[in-house]
Amino acid sequence: MLNSVWIIVALPALSFVIILFFGKRLPKHGAEVAITAVAASFIGSCWAAVEWIDRVNASEHAAGIAGFFGKGMMPSDSAQGGVEPVVNSLTWWQSGGIDFGVGTYVDGLTVMMVFVVTLISLLVHIYSTGYMHDDKRYTWYYAGLSLFTASMLTLVVASGTLQMLVGWELVGFCSFMLIGFWWEDRENSRAAIKAFLTTRTGDIGLIIGIIILFTAVGTFNIAGTNAYALQGANNHDILLIASICLLIGIMGKSGQFPLHTWLPDAMAGPTPVSALIHAATMVVAGVYLGARLYPVFYEGFSISNGGINMMALVGGITILVGASLAFVQRDIKKVLAYSTISQLGYMVMALGVGAWVAAVFHLFTHAIFKALLFLGAGSVSHGGTHHSFDMREMGGLRKKMPITFWTFIIGSLALAGIFPLAGFWSKDEILVNAGSQGFELFLIIGLVGAFLTAAYMTRCVYLTFFGEYRGKHHPHESERSITTPLIILAGLAIVGGMINAAPLGIKKFTEWVEPTTNFPKVVHAEFDVPLAVISVSIAMLAIGVMSYFMFRREELTKFKGLTQRNRLARSGYTLLERKYYLDYLYENVIVEGIRTPIARAMYWFNQTVIDGLVNFLGRGAVRVGRFAYENIDQRGIDRAINASANEIGAAGGVLQRVQSGSVQRYALYIFAAVGVMSVALFVLSVS
């Protein structure tokens, strides 16, 4: 299976094509095809995981034998216990003597990602049969899910950065398509466009980074790129620039500050889509890229030196921004969206402080419990509030929806990092690594983030499930197709973290997933009991404080009362409610600035600034002239100067006409530009 993971990718792609052509005519309108394909992919990925684990164990066994017989007996690589990734590739096309390959690069990270993607995707597919039951674009929805799964798997198994880019753009497109799924609503299509454009902004960085790496390395190959990065210090500048560019790509895709603003808006899509794309898989593509090309970042940002680097800083800021914004949301999905941003911040920060395993482990656990939370929120709106996500219409659902309630509680506790749920192990691993390698600042940020996380989840759970029911419908528990995935995910959220429970001596995740070849020598911090106690108590404290506020006042009024009485609190609340004014900056300042024709700005500049300047200078000259040169006609000079000013103004008017909207005018510019450039080239080549 390790040599044929392409089958796992091909199945959802095939299902997409089948649904596209025959979906509407099938008895279940395409859902059965999609679910079968993803289920087969999931089985394939389990099989691949088993084979990979066998391979790791066999290699350890071989290393043991080699140790027993002495190092001379075995090739040095396997003597170090290195497990080579399984690489298969074929030439996609050839140009200028360079092969552009497609293929699969399978190691522990790939296997883990394939497992997560197919697992969550399968559960979301099943969940959607209930959730999307009456939708008029049901078939289309399943086609979209299939295409997304295939694209995400393409990205994950890619053997080269170019292929990764293809998958990366495809998942971006699917995300766009599914956010705007209910495009009749103008809000939704705007959100889709915003998400697409914001991630595209980051993609430019990614593309430039890939090109830089390609120029430096001479291949798109991931293995080759990583080997190049580890070669030595003589290429540090290139690696630094490349990793900054790649980091911009990560910022766009993984919702890192300051490109995170699209993710909350992306909640306009159907909830299962939010769970799959905007919590568990697509948004972690950035983190995956960081993990996949880790040697580049490790060397580029000199992570081994400790101290502050850009990656850790971006992650750290994102933790705080996301967590604080999650406080003021009224929409349960937006709370979760900001929480996702904040948790992605943890992953990026972990990569930035050299805690590779912790980052990937957190990716793994977060995918499970955040998908659980999103699906739970979907269940609440499905059964409880009739497709509303406003927490003001919820409350008191604890009794009416017991399964949803308990699974949601488990997800929240896992997210808050309460022992012994999944989130505890991964978050703790990040913190302990940050603390032990000279990144104390980030340890503190992580602890503050843990406090905020626990607090906003308490608020969210309280508003949703406790108190009195404030909606106008008749809440009831959702059907089986919705609760089954919730129960499965809740089970995984309880036990999933144990796979790397360091104090119990279980380090399977590290063993299976961490690459052993072509990888920088990262330090693994040992489990630290006091730190774990501190982080759990911080989370408990946050839960306690928030519960005190919530239960005592029963309503939101207390919080509101505080903000009304205290000016500082109020301004803080406004700042948060306006999302730090970032959207305002992007939409009103930057976009407006570009949309209003630049020519008009130039015209204005000409009319007021230059014109004024010229007039001012002219008048000054006139005054001087009146005294010094009595016999030169004052009006003549004045007129000449005014004429020149008018000329400049007219030039601005001409520039304004560039944006005429006439196609033929644009064609004229194109041909003229081609002509002028050919002349230039011709002259240059002849001389």
Partner 1 sequence: MELNQFLILSAFIFAVGVYGVLARRNGVLVLMSVELMLNAVNINLIAFSAFNHNIRGNIFALFITAIAAAEVGVGLAIVLLIYRNLRSPDLDRVEQLKG
Partner 2 sequence: MWEQQVVFWLLALAMGGAAIGVVRSNDVVHSVLFLIVVLAGAAAQYILLAAEFVAWVQVLIYIGAVVVLFLFGVMLTRAPMGDDGARLNNDQRGAAAVVALLIFGVLTALLVDAFGGQEIRFGADLVAQGRPQAIGSDLFRNFVVPFEVLSMLLLAALVGAVVLARKD
Residues in touch with partner 2 (CB under 8 A): 664-665, 668, 671-672, 674-676, 678-679, 682, 686
**Sole binder of partner 1 in the list 643, 663, 684, 686 (CB under 8 A):** 663
Considering just the CA atoms, what is the radius of gyration of the chain in Å? 29
Partner whose binding site includes residue 7, from partner 2, partner 1, none (CB under 5 to 8 Å by kind):
none
> How near is the Cβ of 601 to partner 2 at its closest, in Å?
25
> How near is the Cβ of 137 to partner 2 at its closest, in Å?
22
Task: With beta carbons less than 8 A apart as the criterion, state whether 542 and 455 touch.
Answer: yes
Q: Which two tokens stand for residue 202?
A: 């980051």
Range in contact with partner 1 (rule: CB under 8 A) among 45-53, 95-103, 187-195, 657-665? 657-665
Single-letter code of the amino acid located at 142: Y
> How near is the Cβ of 665 to partner 2 at its closest, in Å?
7
> How near is the Cβ of 20 to partner 2 at its closest, in Å?
17
Under the binding rule (CB under 8 A), the answer on residue 621 touching partner 1 is no
**Sole binder of partner 1 in the list 96, 468, 661, 683 (CB under 8 A):** 661
In the complex with partner 2, the residue whose CB is nearer, 629 or 666, is 666
Range in contact with partner 1 (rule: CB under 8 A) among 169-177, 209-217, 447-455, 665-673? 665-673
Range in contact with partner 1 (rule: CB under 8 A) among 122-130, 133-141, 326-334, 662-670? 662-670
Dihedral of CA 390/393/395/399: which sign?
negative
CB atoms within 10 A of CB 526: 10
Task: With beta carbons less than 8 A apart as the criterion, state whether 210 and 222 touch.
Answer: no
Reduce the DSSP state of residue 103 to 3 states and report it.
strand
In the complex with partner 2, the residue whose CB is nearer, 631 or 664, is 664
Task: With beta carbons less than 8 A apart as the criterion, state whether 196 and 189 touch.
Answer: no
> How near is the Cβ of 525 to partner 1 at its closest, in Å?
56
φ, ψ dihedrals at 578, nearest 5° = -85, 15
In the complex with partner 2, the residue whose CB is nearer, 541 or 668, is 668
Under the binding rule (CB under 8 A), the answer on residue 667 touching partner 1 is yes
Residues sharing a CB contact under 8 Å with residue 477, sequence separation 6 or more, in sequence order: 383, 400, 401, 402, 403, 404, 483
Under the binding rule (CB under 8 A), the answer on residue 678 touching partner 1 is no
**Sole binder of partner 1 in the list 50, 660, 676, 680 (CB under 8 A):** 660
Terminal Cα distance for the chain, rounded: 60
In the complex with partner 2, the residue whose CB is nearer, 76 or 662, is 662
**Sole binder of partner 1 in the list 67, 671, 676, 678 (CB under 8 A):** 671
Task: With beta carbons less than 8 A apart as the criterion, state whether 351 and 481 touch.
Answer: no
Partner whose binding site includes residue 65, from partner 1, partner 2, none (CB under 5 to 8 Å by kind):
none
The closest alpha carbon to 326, from 343, 341, 345, 339, belongs to: 339
In the complex with partner 2, the residue whose CB is nearer, 487 or 651, is 651
Residues sharing a CB contact under 8 Å with residue 405, sequence separation 6 or more, in sequence order: 397, 398, 465
Partner whose binding site includes residue 659, from partner 2, partner 1, none (CB under 5 to 8 Å by kind):
partner 1
In the complex with partner 1, the residue whose CB is nearer, 523 or 658, is 658
Partner whose binding site includes residue 64, from partner 1, partner 2, none (CB under 5 to 8 Å by kind):
none
Cα(366)–Cα(499) distance, integer angstroms = 14
**Sole binder of partner 1 in the list 495, 654, 668, 679 (CB under 8 A):** 668
Cα(319)–Cα(447) distance, integer angstroms = 10
In the complex with partner 1, the residue whose CB is nearer, 568 or 663, is 663
Cα(349)–Cα(311) distance, integer angstroms = 6
Residues sharing a CB contact under 8 Å with residue 136, sequence separation 6 or more, in sequence order: none
Secondary structure tally for the chain: helices H, strands E = 31, 2
Task: With beta carbons less than 8 A apart as the criterion, state whether 430 and 355 touch.
Answer: yes
> How near is the Cβ of 320 to partner 2 at its closest, in Å?
53
φ, ψ dihedrals at 132, nearest 5° = -100, 15
Task: With beta carbons less than 8 A apart as the criterion, state whether 508 and 387 touch.
Answer: no
**Residue 338, Cα to own-chain centre: how many angstroms?**
12
> How near is the Cβ of 602 to partner 1 at its closest, in Å?
13
Partner whose binding site includes residue 686, from partner 2, partner 1, none (CB under 5 to 8 Å by kind):
partner 2
In the complex with partner 2, the residue whose CB is nearer, 10 or 599, is 599
The closest alpha carbon to 422, from 502, 350, 344, 493, belongs to: 493
> How near is the Cβ of 202 to partner 2 at its closest, in Å?
35
The closest alpha carbon to 283, from 329, 336, 242, 353, belongs to: 336
Dihedral of CA 142/143/145/149: which sign?
positive
**Sole binder of partner 1 in the list 234, 631, 664, 687 (CB under 8 A):** 664
> How near is the Cβ of 598 to partner 2 at its closest, in Å?
21
Range in contact with partner 1 (rule: CB under 8 A) among 278-286, 389-397, 433-441, 666-674? 666-674
Range in contact with partner 1 (rule: CB under 8 A) among 317-325, 532-540, 619-627, 660-668? 660-668
Cα(547)–Cα(567) distance, integer angstroms = 24
Under the binding rule (CB under 8 A), the answer on residue 590 touching partner 1 is no
> How near is the Cβ of 591 to partner 1 at its closest, in Å?
14
**Sole binder of partner 1 in the list 67, 306, 503, 597 (CB under 8 A):** 597
Pairing state between β 98-106 and 86-95: antiparallel
Size of the site for partner 1 (CB under 8 A): 12
Cα(192)–Cα(177) distance, integer angstroms = 7
Cα(122)–Cα(116) distance, integer angstroms = 10
Range in contact with partner 1 (rule: CB under 8 A) among 88-96, 117-125, 446-454, 661-669? 661-669
Cα(82)–Cα(514) distance, integer angstroms = 10
Whether omega before 520 lies within 30 degrees of 0, making that bond cis, reads no
In the complex with partner 1, the residue whose CB is nearer, 537 or 660, is 660
Alpha carbons within 13 angstroms on the beta-carbon side of residue 508 total 13
Partner whose binding site includes residue 678, from partner 1, partner 2, none (CB under 5 to 8 Å by kind):
partner 2
Partner whose binding site includes residue 663, from partner 2, partner 1, none (CB under 5 to 8 Å by kind):
partner 1
Q: Which two tokens stand for residue 534?
A: 């501190």
Range in contact with partner 1 (rule: CB under 8 A) among 515-523, 544-552, 583-591, 653-661? 653-661
In the complex with partner 2, the residue whose CB is nearer, 57 or 662, is 662
**Sole binder of partner 1 in the list 659, 677, 678, 681 (CB under 8 A):** 659
Dihedral of CA 345/350/356/362: which sign?
negative
In the complex with partner 2, the residue whose CB is nearer, 476 or 665, is 665
Under the binding rule (CB under 8 A), the answer on residue 662 touching partner 1 is yes
Dihedral of CA 402/408/411/417: which sign?
negative
In the stretch 45-74, what mask flags binding to partner 1 with x, by CB under 8 A? ------------------------------
Partner whose binding site includes residue 679, from partner 1, partner 2, none (CB under 5 to 8 Å by kind):
partner 2
Footprint of partner 1 (CB under 8 A): 597, 599, 659-664, 666-668, 671
